[in-house]
Amino acid sequence: MAYETLLYKKREGIGYLTVNRPDKLNALNRQVMDELHDCFQAMQNDAEVRVVILTGAGEKAFVAGADVGELAALTPLEGQELSRRGHQVLDLLEDLGKPVIAAVNGYALGGGCELALACTLRIAAENARFGQPEVKLGIIPGYAGTQRLPWLVGKGRALEMILSGEPVNAQEAYRIGLVNQVVPAAELMSAAEAWARKILANAPLAIKFALEAVNQGLNMTREQGQALEAALFALCCTTTDMKEGTRAFLEKRPAKFVGK
């Protein structure tokens, strides 16, 4: 796959996706969002890719936000369309059926923070900064930041970030549950790859169903979520991997999963 604003490669079950506009601090414009959507769809349909690591080019930014030049010219109708398109792209990312690890290597602001929020796990370099500064521009988060951020950190913490527009550093992001791990910048990709390898060691269908149970369950009542969990648990019981995993445990040997 060849893109103008992204870099993509895959190796040993991992898809490496980089937003590549370092001169613009990897800001999200329409072209980036369209290319992200295309790439997410391609990875979703690629059986060779089981885990994705998403990062930004350069040393300053993961994604520093949206393209303000584009935002400044929006009509109300265009603004609604832009927001809905962002929802579509990030919903696809969240529901990819494969874990996506955000390797946050600098500023993750506005749309960049929202992009990280849609990922499965977030690993932050010590110099990372997270924020939703939209109110400073007279707007609100438009790529589901008002929805995903409270799920992760709670309503109070989310409103602190959204209403102040002020960023939080990596350690504070870890303290409030926004990120899963903070590491020195030089160790960021190796830490993300270590998480990817932990996931790759497990049954692919079980990973997919676990993601579905958690993501869909958040939008259900407890009873509905538990019904979904039971149905997906039953599906796991039909798989070759379930038979292999339980047999390997009983035989005290590593399992050899095949994704079936």
3-state secondary structure of 11: strand
Question: What's at 199, amino acid-wise?
Answer: I
Task: Give, in order, the Cα–Cα distances in Å from 21 to each of 60, 115, 152.
Answer: 11, 15, 28
The distance between the two most distant Cα atoms of the chain, rounded to a whole number of Å, is: 64
Are the C-beta atoms of 90 and 118 separated by less than 8 Å? yes
**Partners of 8 in the beta sheet?**
17
134 is catalytic: yes
Query: Of the residues 70, 78, 81, 114, which is catalytic?
Result: 114
48 is catalytic: no
Task: Give, in order, the Cα–Cα distances in Å from 219 to each of 81, 91, 115, 130, 245.
Answer: 23, 13, 19, 25, 30
Query: Of the residues 134, 172, 212, 251, which is catalytic?
Result: 134
Counts for the chain of helices (H) and strands (E), in that order: 11, 10
Rounded CA-CA distance 206/210 in Å is: 6
Catalytic residue numbers read 114, 134
